Chain A
Amino acid sequence: MDLDPDLWRRARPLLDAALDLPADAREAYLDQACHGDPALRGTVAALVAAAEDERPFLDSLPRDAVADLANLPAAAEGDGTEPGQKIGPYRILRLLGAGGMGAVYLARRDDGEFEQQVALKLIRAGPLSHETVARFRRERQILAWLNHPTIARLLDGGVSEAGPYLVMEYVEGQPIDQYCDRNRLGIADRLRVFLSVCEAVDHAHKALVIHRDLKPANILVTAAGEVKLLDFGIARLLDANPAADPLTGAEHRLLTREYASPEQFRNGPLTTATDGYALGAVLYQLLTGRLPHDLRGLSAAAAERAVCDTGPARPSTIRRELRGDLDTILLRALHHDPARRYGSAAALADDLVRHLERRPVSARADTLTYRVGRFVRRNAMSVAAAAAILILLVGGALATAYQGARAQRRFDNVRTLAHALLFDLHDAIRDLPGATPAREALVSHALDYLDQLRADAPSDPALQLELAAAYDQIGEIQGNPHRANLGDLAGAMTSYGTALALREAVWRHDSTNAAVRHALGVSYGHLAVVTSWSGRNDEAIRLSQRGIDLLTPLHDAGPGAAVIAGDLGRIESELGWWLIWAGQVEQGMAWLDRAVGRLTSRGGPPTDDADAGIDLWRAYSYQVDGYRFTERPGPALALLETTALPHLDRLAERHPTHPAIWYSLHVCHDFIGAMLKALGRLDEARPAFLESQRMARRMVEADSANQKAFEGLARSHGSLGDLAVASGRLDAAIGEFEAGVEVFRKLFDRNPRNVEIANMLGNAQRRVCEVLRDGRRPHQALDWCLASEQVLERVVSANTANAVVRANLGSAYVLTARAYRALAATVDPADAARFRDFARSRYGDGLQLLRELEGTDAIPEFRPDSVAAEMASLDLRDRPPGQ
């Protein structure tokens, strides 16, 4: 009789305790411990009796069992199966190979029915583990699903005396890498062969099958040049719940680590993107002749670090002719973040075809497809879950269509539910610390419902507006920089953009409706904010002006005036700030004055409405920026200390748990510290920075999903580091900067497409680098330069359109060149020449980037001609003296 698991869990501690007591004390103990629970008492008593039972039990193995050990058949050499032996109706011809699961033989069907040669996979006739048997069964199921000319087909399966076996199509061919090398294929021909591989993998993915162990040994090319994929033995059906499937848990991973993706090393969720990575690795090998990562001789931990923390060498550094598209395509395919790889094998193939046809490749463009895909895949949502939702949506829509008369009522019910989720429930939790993930789940559920409804009623304007409001909520959670958010700026852009498009459509049909006009104006304001944070300031200015134009005629119309004044003031203050950043300080300050006036027009600074209060603080902070920009720390400090901080303190008192107010206080104290430092009052600055850091810590502790909290923490480290530099405490400064970089680094890994974070990280790394260089530590300085370069390269490789990041990368290359140069001065002549070579190649890369940027709105730190001169001076020094 087995114990009920729950009963056992309760009984176990009592059993341990009872056995620790002398035998005569146990009765009393059990009476007391199990008071009122006779079932528990009975169980513990029985267990105690069983434990005390003196009869031998599990003391030694049965003699015959041990004797069995001597009769073990040898497991090696494929179970000793000999050529000529029969397995079922098949006759073994020879051993093809042996692997973890068993041996594979060439065999022929022996009953005269077919003269076909087959590959027979025999499970080792030793002790079968449950895992092995289950895996065997899975392999058969999966293979039976797949029917494609480039995937080796499952023909039969059964069991013989030698064990269970699978029969597969026998493929006579060479691994793809050997095939390409032996036939001396050029790049274009290698790509054409590889395209068939993509096609096969794409077919499998569409059948919801992933391979998980793609490598050249599993990709054969026949003499006729046909590609065949083998060994779907470890594939996993995507429709199985990964969490519930013990077979795909940590202990059961199979991987050939040279081709394994970072998520396989880290035991993360495996998706079709995992195969995408392996495809990238195979292509990398085919084109460069090397693996993306040389893992020979590395320990498991070192291999994991190599794959997860460093990108592969840019292919063109191995073979120059890969420069350009193929560099970009391979780096995207091998991206450490699955969400940033190609969305499918077909997409990879598509880019390769474009490259072959000399058309622009998608990897270079910041495409809408990417953003939409990102939206679907946001966070850890697996392809499986996305597929499930898709099925749900399609199923739901169909069900609705069939329900006829009942449909309208269901429609209304769903709509009411979605509305309640979105507005009542969501607003109730919105400002609670730690609520970010819950908000996201809530809103995305509601959005699913609404999307379904939208498909049912595409022309219902009220529904369109409701849907737009839902997208606004999603956008806010994903990446509105003014609220607790998930840092997914690209996702926010998509959501806000969708909301705007929906409202525009309604507005086109009904341009007299004030409510629609209001909503549309606000929509422009939202989109402007995320656009600006994505680095496109001019576009943001244009969008916000459109928003202001829409709202201004409404602002003193009727009962909604206060709301409209608030919205207008908010957009105006943002516009003022962006103008300041664009160098039009006077104009910007004028907009800010107007905004502050509007936001305080109704009885002074607002405190009841936390959002309105924060909007006002933001306008103050932008004014501070205006003063800082024109180097007027005195008025800035006065504004902060006499107006802004008291306003925030009152707000915090009124709304003690509001995270955005904590954040505002954090920034305010940071500003005060910075102004004090600028005024030379260093001793007073430190407590201000520490207070600021305290606020950031408080936010991180309250909500570890809140990106702004981490941003704040990193900012505080940077401020304290700068202060330490100013006070001449170099080691303390380096410590602070490194801590800041660490925080940014984590943020960046989480949101590699957020340009703002990448810039902050790159800048923080460069700051460390500068401090180290000034402190005469060239080796460490170089390390940080390289790290900074790597981060920016990653961003650029996925987002070539962003001129600001590319300018920063150009600067990073120049700084690295200088670091190599500085290092060259400290080492042997032989090493020095090498370092100068490195410096030269970095100057070259930097120069190229900076030249490409001429005529864009980015203002690089270095001018191309001065970099060229610097590079030339390097060559001069290289020449032996006297020539």
Chain B
Amino acid sequence: MADPAAATGPNLTRLLRAWRAGSDGALDQLISAVYDELGAIARRHLGRERPGHTLDTGALVHEAYLNLIDQAAVDWQDRVHFFAIASRTMRRVLVWHARKRGTVKRDGGRPVSLDEVVALAAGRDEPAIDLLALDDALQRLEATDPRLCRVVECRFFGGLGIDETAEALGISPATVKRDWQAARAWLRLALTDPA
């Protein structure tokens, strides 16, 4: 059915390049690889359970990068794209978990219409805990100003610094600073004021 080669160990560097070349299939494979790796790293860290140590996503992303990308073959563009993807993956993962926690468990085998699935996946009818509300607000922000949304993904979900965010998005650090400030202000208004 689908390309069986895709199931065998993906070379992330190659996938990144394929994604840059426009392969959406490669993006899905990338996300799934990054996703696995983030989980593995998180499990390792929590297993150590050092008091006072909070796991920050920036460290996760960097560690995933070192583990996944062939350091000998990497070029700066790969690195840049990796961080952008990892931040986006992190957003999806965390929001997905938040949604799952808030979701009433559904009947295992009941055939549900696909529209319901879509509604479920998009979380329109789910209770609002912070991450979900944030994700919703981000989707609206994205419609108004997609770059601000990318900055929030990198800074908040990806835990990237100003300079790394600038590199990942191909904009200047000064722009990242201003965008981050503006995005925070926008989101604060969007999330705190009642509709």
Cβ–Cβ contact B3 & A217, under 8 A: yes
Which residue of the partner chain A has the closest CB to B88?
A129
Residues of B within 8 A of A70 (CB): 39, 42-43, 45-46
CB of A300 within 8 A of CB of B189, answer: no
- Cβ-based interface call for A15 (8 A): yes
Residue pairs across A and B with Cβ atoms less than 8 A apart, 6 shown, are A50-B192, A66-B54, A126-B35, A133-B122, A158-B112, A254-B23
Q: Which of B23, B32, B43, B184 lies in contact with A50, CB distance below 8 A? A: B184
Chain B residues positioned under 8 Å from A124 (CB to CB):
32
Interface residue? B38 (CB, 8 A): yes
Partner of A57, one of B122, B157, B188, B195: B188
Which of A601-616 touch B at CB < 8 Å? none
B186 neighbours in A (Cβ, 8 Å): 3, 8, 47, 50
Question: In whole angstroms, how far apart are the Cα atoms of A70 and B116 in the complex?
Answer: 28
Which B residues lie within 8 Å of A3 (CB)? Answer: 144, 186, 189-190
Given contacts A3-B189, A133-B117, 13 further A-B contacts (CB under 8 A): A61-B156, A65-B97, A66-B54, A69-B97, A72-B42, A97-B4, A98-B2, A127-B89, A129-B92, A137-B114, A159-B114, A230-B1, A255-B23
Q: Report the separation of the CA atoms of residues A651 and B114 in the bound assembly, to the nearest whole angstrom.
A: 69
A253 touches B22 (CB 8 A): yes
In B111-158, which residues have CB < 8 Å from any A CB? 111-112, 114-118, 120-122, 130-131, 137, 140, 143-145, 152, 155-157
* Minimum CB–CB distance for B49 against chain A, Å: 11
Return the CB mask of A49-85 against B: 1 if under 8 Å, else 0.
0110100011011110111111111111110000000
Nearest CB in chain B: distance from A28 CB, A: 20
Task: Say which residue of B22, B56, B122 sits within 8 Å of A267 (CB atoms).
Answer: B22
* Chain B binding surface SS class: helix
Closest chain-A Cβ to B170's Cβ sits at a distance in Å of 15
What number of A-B contacts does a CB cutoff of 8 Å give? 230
Given the known A-B contacts A100-B6, A101-B2, A137-B114, are A74 and B131 also in contact in the complex, defined by CB atoms under 8 Å? no
Let me know if B73 is at the binding interface, CB within 8 A: no
Chain B residues with CB below 8 A from A58, complex form:
152, 155-156, 184, 187
Select which of A67, A133, A304 is within 8 A of B118 by beta carbon.
Answer: A133
Contact check, B3 vs A97: say whether CB atoms are below 8 A apart. yes
Once the chains are docked, how many angstroms separate the CA of A70 from the CA of B45?
9
**Chain A interface, number of residues (Cβ within 8 angstroms):** 86
Per-residue contact bits, chain B 161-195, to A (CB 8 Å; 1 contact, 0 not): 00000000000000000100110111111101111
B20 to chain A: which residues have CB within 8 Å? 300
Instruction: List A contacts of B69 (CB < 8 A).
Output: none
What's the nearest-Cβ distance from chain A to residue B185, in Å?
4
Chain A residue with minimal CB distance to B129? A62
Q: B192 to nearest A CB, angstroms?
A: 8
Most buried by A among B26, B35, B55: B35
B95 and A47 contacting across the interface, CB-CB below 8 Å = no
Taken together as a complex, chains A and B put the C-alpha atoms of A72 and B36 apart, in Å, by 7
Report chain A residues within 8 Å CB of B12: none
Q: Which residue of B lies closest to A90 (CB)?
A: B109
Chain A interface secondary structure, helix, strand, loop or mixed? mixed
Of B27, B36, B185, B192, which one neighbours A51 at CB under 8 angstroms? B185
Is A67 within 8 A of B46, CB to CB?
Answer: yes
Q: Which residue of B lies closest to A4 (CB)?
A: B144
Say yes or no: is A2 at the interface (Cβ < 8 Å to chain B).
yes
In the assembled complex, how far is the CB of residue A357 from the closest CB belonging to chain B, in whole angstroms? 36
From the candidates A68, A97, A253, A264, name the one contacting B94 in the complex (CB within 8 A).
A68
B32 to chain A, nearest CB (A): 4
Tell me, yes or no, whether A265 is within 8 Å of chain B by CB.
yes
Residue of A50, A97, A130, A267 with most partner-chain B CB within 10 A: A50
Q: Which of B17, B32, B194 has the most CB of A within 10 A?
A: B32
- At the interface, yes or no: B108 with Cβ under 8 Å from chain A? yes
Task: Check B32 against A104 for contact (C-beta < 8 Å).
Answer: no
Tell whether A252 pairs with B55 under 8 Å between CB atoms, given A65-B97, A133-B121: no
* B24 within 8 Å of A (CB atoms): yes
A12 located at the interface, meaning its Cβ lies under 8 Å from any Cβ of chain B in the complex: yes
A255 to B94, Cβ gap below 8 A? no
Q: What residue of chain B has the Cβ atom nearest to residue A72's Cβ?
A: B39
Given contact pairs A61-B57, A128-B121, A136-B114, A161 touches B108 in the complex (Cβ within 8 A)? yes
Given contacts A70-B43, A98-B6, A253-B23, contact A126 B32 (CB under 8 A): yes
**Which chain B positions have C-beta within 8 A of A101?**
2, 25, 28
Q: Nearest-CB distance from A723 to chain B (Å)?
A: 44
Inter-chain contact B182/A12, CB cutoff 8 Å: yes
Q: Does B80 contact A (CB under 8 A)?
A: no
Q: Are B117 and A96 touching (Cβ within 8 A)? A: no
What is the CA–CA distance of A554 and B165 in the complex, to the nearest angstrom? 78
In the assembly, what is the distance between CA of A66 and CA of B188, in Å? 22
By a CB distance below 8 angstroms, the chain A residues around B120 are: 159
Taking the closest CB of chain B, its distance from the CB of A215, in whole angstroms, is 9
A97 touches B2 (CB 8 A): yes
Instruction: Take A5-B144, A134-B118 as given contacts and tell me if A50 and B3 are in contact as well, using a CB distance cutoff of 8 Å.
Output: no
Q: Does A86 contact B (CB under 8 A)?
A: yes
| Max chain A Cβ within 10 angstroms of own Cβ: one of B23, B45, B95 | B23
B25 touches A1 (CB 8 A): no
In the assembled complex, A583 has its CB within 8 A of some CB on chain B: no
Cβ of B68 under 8 Å from chain A:
no
Listed from nearest, the 8 A-B pairs whose CB atoms lie closest are A99-B2, A72-B39, A300-B21, A69-B42, A127-B96, A100-B25, A100-B28, A68-B97
Produce 1/0 per residue, B63-95, CB < 8 A to A: 000000000000000000000000001001111
Could you tell me the distance between the alpha carbons of A849 and B114 in the complex, rounded to whole angstroms? Answer: 61
**Bound: A99/B184 CA distance, A:** 37
Q: Which residues of A contact B160 (CB under 8 A)?
A: none
> Are the CB atoms of B36 and A75 closer together than 8 Å?
yes
Contact at A1–B194, with CB atoms within 8 Å? yes
Residues of the B chain whose Cβ atoms lie less than 8 Å from the Cβ of A71: 39, 97
A267 to B192, CA, bound (A): 41
A127–B93 touching, CB < 8 Å: yes
- Report if B104 contacts A (CB, 8 A): no
User: For the complex, is A119 an interface residue (Cβ under 8 Å from B)?
Assistant: yes
Residue of A nearest to B122 (CB): A130
Contacts of B117 in A (CB 8 A): 133, 136, 159, 164
Q: Does A638 lie at the interface of the complex (its beta carbon under 8 Å from any beta carbon of B)? A: no
- Determine the chain B residues whose CB is within 8 A of the CB of A134 once the complex forms: 118
Chain B residues, Cβ within 8 Å of A161: 106, 108
Q: Is the beta-carbon distance between B184 and A69 smaller than 8 angstroms? A: no
A103: min CB distance to chain B, Å: 8
User: In the bound complex, what is the Cα–Cα distance between A69 and B94 (angstroms)?
Assistant: 7
Residue of A whose beta carbon sits closest to that of B7: A98
Which residue from chain A places its CB closest to the CB of B25 in the assembled complex?
A100
Query: Judging by beta carbons under 8 Å apart, are A255 and B35 in contact?
Result: no
Q: Which residue among B18, B39, B57, B157 has the maximum number of chain A CB atoms within 10 Å of its CB? A: B39
Chain B residues near A314 (CB, 8 Å)? none
In this assembly, does A157 line the interface, its C-beta being within 8 Å of a C-beta of chain B?
Answer: yes
Q: Which residues of B contact A267 (CB under 8 A)?
A: 22
What distance in Å separates the Cβ of B17 from its nearest Cβ neighbour in chain A?
A: 6
Q: Does A546 contact B (CB under 8 A)?
A: no
Q: A134-B118, A159-B111, A299-B17 are in contact. Are A61 and B42 (CB under 8 A)?
A: no
Chain B hits for A250, CB < 8 A: 22
The chain B residue sitting closest to A64, CB to CB, is B101
- What CA separation (Å) do A251 and B29 show in the bound complex? 15
| Chain A residue at minimum C-beta to C-beta distance from B180 | A58
A-side contacts of B118, CB under 8 Å = 133-134, 137
Instruction: Give the docked Cα–Cα distance between A585 and B110 (Å).
Output: 88
Q: With A5-B144, A134-B118 in contact, is A303–B21 under 8 Å at CB? A: yes
State A230–B24 Cα separation when bound (angstroms). 18
Considering only CB atoms, which chain A residue lies closest to B105 in the complex? A161
Quick check: is A290 within 8 A (CB to CB) of the other chain?
A: no
Which residues of chain B are near A119, meaning CB under 8 Å? 1
| A88, CB-defined interface residue at 8 Å | yes
Our pick among B6, B42, B157, B190 for the contact of A99 (Cβ within 8 Å) is B6
Residue ID in chain A nearest B107 by CB atoms: A161
